Amino acid sequence: MAPDAALAARLEDLHELLGTAFYYVVGLHVAAALYHHFVRRDDTLRRMA
């Protein structure tokens, strides 16, 4: 099977998009944990650790 440059480019774009989305999800998760710890002052962060 010959390499498909168009498919490789699409998969590379998809890989980059998923990586970026993962960073945003992790960032939101950290922000939510800090919100619970410092604003709501509940023990969510302690339970996660």
Under 8 Å between Cβ of 35 and 48: no
Binning pLDDT at 50, 70 and 90, where does residue 49 land?
Answer: confident
Residue 1 has pLDDT above 80, yes or no: no
pLDDT in tens, 7-44: 999 999 999 999 999 999 999 999 999 999 999 999 88
Sign of CA dihedral 7, 8, 12, 13: negative
Does the pTM exceed 0.85? Answer: no
